[in-house]
Structure formats: C-alpha cells, structure tokens
Structure 1
C-alpha cells in the first residue's frame, strides 16, 4: 500500500521520515511512555531511526500498520504519531508533551477513522486499547466517539511480551449515542 496523506482543519498527517528521528527520539523519552506505551525503554535515537527508516515504510508496503506523522502543516516538525494496525483496525497514538491539551490528537484520530471507514474495505469498527490508567489516551478515544468496551479481562501486551491490565474501546462509522456515558466507570466525569 502506498502512504496516504490526510488533512484536517489544523493538521497534516503524512509519512514519518528519517528527518523526524530527533523529534521521535526526544518525545519517546517522556516518562509517560515508559508507563503507558510499548516503545523500547530506555528509548534511543537508534530506536527512532529503525522505526522511521525500516518499520514505518515496511509496514506501509506490507499493509500491516499504517503510520502517520502528525504535523501542523506540510514540512513542519513532527508533533506526534498515529498508526492503524491491519487487519485488526486497532489504532494507537502518541503526542509530544508540548502539543497535548489542544485536541490535536482527537482531530487526528477522527481523520484516520473517517479515512479507514471510507477507504479500507471491510472496516466496520476501529478499536483502541491502552494500558489501564492511561487517562489521556482514554479521553481522546472518548472525545472521538469511541465506546468503552473495557472488561476485567481486557489486557494489552507489555514491553516484555507479558499481558498487562488494559482498557479498550471501539467506534463504528457513526458514533454510538451512548458512547460518552460508557466511559463513566473508568473516567468518571473527567473532561
């Protein structure tokens, strides 16, 4: 599959490239990444280079994971990353610390979901999983119309391959009207 660029009102989602190595390496040293993501830890520039020069282009070619850089405009520095794993249609994302709190990730997530429903045949739902306790990721999923599907048995793979307690959600082409309320057991009334 060839990489596809997506545009929103404030963002461009395009192919992460080798020129993004320094930004990816910097952002992936955030202590939140150790707690909530499966990225290698400690994260190094070599990890970023391998991700950007081997994993991302290889995964687009094989259509196993479609990964976009999140930017404010074409040619601007990378702000974060969002990826869609195939064939499961599971989404994952992260944003650099200085870009959080501006609803950029919700905007990017909505764009990828809309594209998947329109352009990937057989896409009926997009799923999301995160380590239990990842409030920021859950709040983005909720804001993008995902319904919580978390059960006591929900797990996510840990960095070492062991299963960890997880949270999960899913979204159809049209958000479920009760989606927001489904998050109350996890998020309470958090905004």
Structure 2
C-alpha cells in the first residue's frame, strides 16, 4: 500500500520520515513511554532512525502497519505518531509538549474515519487496547468515539514479553450511543 496523507481542521497526518529522527528520539525518552508503551527502553537515536527509515516504509508496503506523523501543517515538525496495525488495532503517542489540546483525539478520529470508510478493505471496526492505568490513552479513545469493551482475556503484550492487564475498546463507523458512558468506570462521567 502507498502512504496516504490525511487532513483535519488542525493537523496534517503524513508519512514520518528520516528528518523526524531527532524529534522521535526526544519524545520516546518520556518516562511514560517506559511505563505504557512497548518501544525499546532506553530509546536511542538509532532506534528512531531504524523505525523511520526501515520499519515505517516497509510496513506501509506490506500493509502490516500504516503509520502517520502528526503535524500542524505540511512540512511542519512532527508532534506524535498514529499507527494502524494489521487487524485494525490502533496505537498512538504524542510528544509531551503537545499534550492537552486534544490533537491526538482529532488524529485518531481521522484515521478511524478513513479506515472505516474503505481505506482498509472491508474493515468494520478499529480496535484499541492499552495497559491498565494509561488514562491519557483511554481519554483519547473515549474522545475519538471508542466504546470500552471487556474481552474474556483483557491483556496486552509488554516490552519484555510478559502479558499485562489491559483495557480494550472498539470503534465502528457510527459511534455507538453508549460509547462515552462505557468509560465511566475508569474515567468518570465528566465531559
């Protein structure tokens, strides 16, 4: 598959490229990444370069993972990343300096809308999961219209191969009426 650029009211989602190496390396040293993501730790410039130069282009070609850089405009610095893996599972991260503006929810919504409108074959839903306790990721999923689910086995793989308890959610083309309320047990009811 060839990379696809997406646009929202405030963002351009395009291919992360080698010139993003320094920012990816900087953002991925955030201590929250160690706790909640499966990125290598400690994260280095070499990890960022391999991700951007080797993994991202190859994964787009194979369709294994479609990865977008979030930018405030064409050619602007990278703010974060959204990836849609084979099986329609979404993952994302945002640089600490850019949190608090609902940019990631906007980007995730755009990727879901694209995927569910035919961008990814006959996808009927997009799946989300995160380590229990990752409230920021859960808040993004709720804002992007995901409905929290409780699978029989609610886990996610950890960096070291361990299986960790996880929260799960699903997003369909038309958000389900109880999607927002489904998050109340972990996020409360405040809008």
Could you state the TM-score of these two structures normalised by the residue count of structure 2?
Answer: 0.97
Alignment-derived partner of residue 93 in structure 1: 92
In 2, Cα distance between equivalents of 1:184 and 1:151: 17
**Structure-to-structure mapping, 1:100-119, within 5 angstroms:** 100-118=99-117, 119=119
8 A contact 2:181–2:189 mirrored in 1: no
Q: Taking structure 1 as reference, are residues 35 and 190 closer, same or farther at Cα in structure 2, changes over 3 Å only?
A: farther
Q: Secondary structure at the match of 2:176?
A: coil
Q: Taking structure 1 as reference, are residues 190 and 35 closer, same or farther at Cα in structure 2, changes over 3 Å only?
A: farther
Q: How far does residue 152 in structure 1 lie from its aligned partner after superposition?
A: 7.1
Alignment-derived partner of residue 49 in structure 2: 49
Alignment-derived partner of residue 126 in structure 1: 126
In 2, Cα distance between equivalents of 1:52 and 1:161: 23
Alignment-derived partner of residue 66 in structure 1: 66
Q: Taking structure 1 as reference, are residues 177 and 186 closer, same or farther at Cα in structure 2, changes over 3 Å only?
A: same
CA-based RMSD: 1.0
* Number of residue pairs the alignment of both structures matches: 190
Q: Which has the higher mean CA deviation after the structures are superposed, 43-52 or 147-156? A: 147-156
**Structure-to-structure mapping, 1:1-191, within 5 angstroms:** 1-86=1-86, 88-118=87-117, 119-151=119-151, 153-189=153-189, 191=191
Gaps of 5+ in 2: none
Q: How far does residue 189 in structure 1 lie from its aligned partner after superposition?
A: 2.9
Query: What CA deviation, in whole Å up to 9, does each residue of 1:98-143 have, x standing for no partner?
Result: 1101010010001000110112221100000101000000000001
In 1, Cα distance between equivalents of 2:43 and 2:190: 31
Query: What CA deviation, in whole Å up to 9, does each residue of 1:12-52 have, x standing for no partner?
Result: 00000000000000000000000000000000000000000
In 2, Cα distance between equivalents of 1:14 and 1:55: 15
Q: Taking structure 1 as reference, are residues 102 and 188 closer, same or farther at Cα in structure 2, changes over 3 Å only?
A: same
In 1, Cα distance between equivalents of 2:173 and 2:152: 26
Q: Taking structure 1 as reference, are residues 190 and 157 closer, same or farther at Cα in structure 2, changes over 3 Å only?
A: farther
